Each structure stands twice: as structure tokens, then as C-alpha cells.
């Protein structure tokens, strides 16, 4: 007793022999497969074979006027009861929201559920949840947590969520060597201060000089300075325009930081190319040319360089800076994590 499901009989031995041990344990004595396998996040019916699993993803719509704080959700299945773990895809058909600290209600129910963004009550103003925009919300048992960026247009990136993370709460010290001007990629130096990757002032030129003297940390913080006012040398910056992750000014990133994108392969990761120093966790940007310090081409031979993933290049107008920057090199015949 207790091992019947794992012991083949004459009627299912052939099927059993073709399956891995992990798969075979789901065979029933009659040779059929257990049909009630677990469903992601779903609440079940006791786990009995053939039981119906409750889904966790639902579609809803909201036609509430933009200025109304309480947003009514309709279009859910008849008899729907909200449960923790549910994800609702909400289509906003009433117009682009202008209210703040909004809440959801479900159908004719009076219970109001706060809408959170980044763990906080959504302070949505103009352009949030645009007309006919579709947005996902996760229910944690008390609140709805928005799972993506809220706004159609956002020039000051006050909302620092899924697609755009700023460093406004941090004190970042500018290197004494030079100012940081508009739309520049900024790297952390070995002394903990920050310098831009280009040495000259901003311009649309594709031949701007590269900072090949600065010694930067392989595992250092990178950010994008997305405004027009320069940061002076030795300044301490806590601006909301210091972006660790950035997609909204991608064209400026390409124009001002990358000296153009002519040599990049569309739909590819972009890597900083560095020359390791005596301390292998410190590098200088590749000095070969005005564009040799970044690339979409992975090395195929050992070249002694470190490749630090910067972001993703989609096409001639879109570059996305990512928040995490793993380092790689070509070693022992493979493009692999750096120094492993």
C-alpha cells in the first residue's frame, strides 16, 4: 500500500517505461494521467483528480469618469468573488484619469480597495491610465497593486515604478574632474564619486571625446542624467533626474551619450567595453575609438576585456538602460560571467 501509483501493472507498463520518474508518479492505476495538476496561484477544489481549478487572471473594464476617485470595475464573470492573489487586467474606457489616491470597487459592491503603486497610494494626476489603456493589478487581500508604469506621458518621472527608477533618495557625489551635463551616462569611479563617460560638453556630434582616463568599478552604480542643468564638479546630487533605469528619453541617450548608434545591431544587448586594471574589479573604457567603449557584438576570442551589460538596443530610435549590469568576458572558449 502507499506505492500503487509508482508500480506499473501489465496494462500500463509500456507507458510507464517511457516516462521519467518525476512524470510517472502522475500516472493513475488505469494508465491515465492526473488531470488536476497545480495551477499558478489558483485556489483549488481539494486537489482531487479532475477537480476544477479557479483561475487567477481576469479581465475587467472601468468606464468611471476621469475625475472620480472611486473607479468601478465591471465585466467580471457572473458570481465573481475577489480573492487574494487575483490579477485583474483593467481596460479604462472612461477617459484618461485625473483623480488622486484612487480606489476600486467591484461591480455593485460598496467595498473600496485602495490602488497602490510602488507600494504607495497612487498619486496619479494628468495622463495616468490613459483612455483605452490596459493595465494589470494584483490583489494582496486588502489593496490593488499596479504591476506596470502608470502614465501615458511623464516628463519629470515622479512615478518611479516598473520601467523607470530614479535615485532621488540617494546622495551622489560628482567627481572633481569635470561637470556632468545633460543626457549623459554616468559611472561610479573607484573612489565612489561619479563621472560621465564623455569628457566634453553635450552636443549632437557623433565624435565626442570619450573618458578613457577614469577608473570605474566593474560592479559600480550606473545612472543616466536626464535633464538640461549641469551638475558642477564636487556637487552632491539628489535629483529626481538621476535615473538607474530609463526608457523614456532613449533618443536623447543615443544622441548625446552613445555618439550615435550606427554600429549597433538592432534588438541586441549593449555592453560597455572595459580594460581591467591592476585591481580586476576596476576598469577603464576601451580607448580604441569614439565608439569602441560600447558594443552589441560579443567577443569570440579571449581579448582580456570586460563586457558590462548596459541596456537593450531595439532600433534606430530606442535604447533602454537597465537597472542591473552583470559583467562578462570571453574565457576558456565561452562568453561567461566575469572572473568566475
Which pLDDT tens digit goes with each residue over 241-253? 888 887 655 788 8
pTM over 0.75: no
CA distances from 78 to 60, 222, 270 (A): 12, 50, 48
Closest CA to 46 of 36, 60, 55: 36
Give the range among 19-33, 82-96, 163-177, 227-241 with minimum mean pLDDT: 19-33
Q: Over range 110-131, report the average pLDDT.
A: 73
Q: What is the DSSP code (8-state) at residue 254?
A: I
Q: Over range 205-225, report the average pLDDT.
A: 94
Give the range among 11-20, 94-103, 123-132, 176-185 with minimum mean pLDDT: 11-20
Q: 22-36, 56-70, 276-290 — which one is most confidently predicted on average?
A: 276-290
Distance CA 225, CA 253 (A): 9
* The pLDDT of residue 130: 79
* The pLDDT of residue 167: 84
Band of pLDDT at residue 117, cut at 50, 70 and 90: confident
Residue 181 has pLDDT above 80, yes or no: yes
Residue 138 has pLDDT above 70, yes or no: yes
Give the range among 4-18, 36-50, 85-99, 170-184 with minimum mean pLDDT: 36-50
Average pLDDT, the chain: 81
Q: Over range 147-173, report the average pLDDT.
A: 60
Could you tell me the maximum CA-CA distance found in the chain, to the nearest angstrom? 81
Which tens digit of pLDDT belongs to each residue from 260-293? 878 899 889 999 999 999 999 999 999 999 999 9
Instruction: Give residue limits of the domains in the chain.
Output: 57-146, 166-337
Q: Over range 178-195, report the average pLDDT.
A: 95
Listed in sequence order, the DSSP H helices in the chain are 13-17, 21-24, 250-252
Do the beta carbons of residue 23 and residue 40 sit within 8 Å? no
Q: What is the DSSP code (8-state) at residue 74?
A: B
Residue 62 has pLDDT above 50, yes or no: yes
Higher-confidence residue of 145 and 45: namely: 145
Amino acid at each position: 500500500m502507499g506505492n500503487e501509483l509508482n508500480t506499473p501493472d501489465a496494462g500500463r507498463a509500456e507507458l510507464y517505461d517511457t516516462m521519467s520518474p518525476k512524470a510517472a508518479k502522475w500516472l493513475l492505476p488505469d494508465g491515465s494521467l492526473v488531470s488536476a495538476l497545480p495551477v499558478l496561484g489558483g485556489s483549488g477544489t481539494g486537489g482531487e483528480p479532475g477537480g476544477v481549478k479557479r483561475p487567477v487572471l481576469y479581465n475587467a473594464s472601468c468606464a468611471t469618469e476621469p475625475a472620480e476617485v472611486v473607479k468601478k470595475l465591471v465585466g467580471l464573470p457572473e458570481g465573481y468573488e475577489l480573492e487574494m492573489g487575483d490579477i485583474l487586467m483593467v481596460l479604462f474606457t472612461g477617459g484618461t484619469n485625473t483623480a488622486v489616491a484612487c480606489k476600486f470597487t467591484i461591480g455593485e459592491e460598496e467595498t473600496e480597495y485602495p490602488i497602490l503603486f510602488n507600494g504607495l497610494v497612487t498619486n496619479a494626476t494628468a495622463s495616468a491610465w490613459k483612455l483605452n489603456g490596459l493595465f494589470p493589478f494584483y490583489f494582496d487581500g486588502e489593496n490593488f497593486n499596479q504591476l506596470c508604469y502608470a502614465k501615458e506621458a511623464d516628463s519629470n518621472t515622479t512615478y518611479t515604478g516598473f520601467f523607470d527608477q530614479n535615485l532621488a533618495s540617494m546622495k551622489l557625489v560628482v567627481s572633481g574632474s569635470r561637470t556632468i551635463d545633460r543626457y549623459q551616462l554616468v559611472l561610479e569611479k573607484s573612489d565612489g564619486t561619479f563621472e560621465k563617460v564623455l569628457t566634453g560638453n553635450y552636443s549632437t556630434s557623433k565624435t565626442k571625446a570619450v573618458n578613457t582616463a577614469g577608473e570605474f568599478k566593474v560592479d559600480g552604480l550606473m545612472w543616466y542624467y536626464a535633464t538640461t542643468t549641469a551638475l558642477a564638479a564636487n556637487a552632491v546630487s539628489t535629483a529626481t533626474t538621476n535615473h538607474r533605469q530609463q526608457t523614456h528619453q532613449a533618443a536623447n541617450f543615443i544622441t548625446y551619450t552613445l555618439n550615435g548608434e550606427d554600429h549597433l545591431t538592432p534588438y541586441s544587448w549593449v555592453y560597455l567595453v572595459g580594460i581591467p586594471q591592476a585591481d580586476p574589479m576596476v576598469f577603464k573604457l576601451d580607448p580604441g575609438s569614439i565608439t569602441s567603449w560600447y558594443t552589441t557584438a560579443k567577443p569570440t576570442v579571449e581579448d582580456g576585456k570586460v563586457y558590462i551589460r548596459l541596456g537593450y538596443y531595439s532600433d534606430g530610435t530606442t535604447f533602454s538602460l537597465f537597472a542591473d549590469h552583470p559583467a562578462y568576458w570571453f574565457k576558456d572558449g565561452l562568453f561567461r560571467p566575469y572572473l568566475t
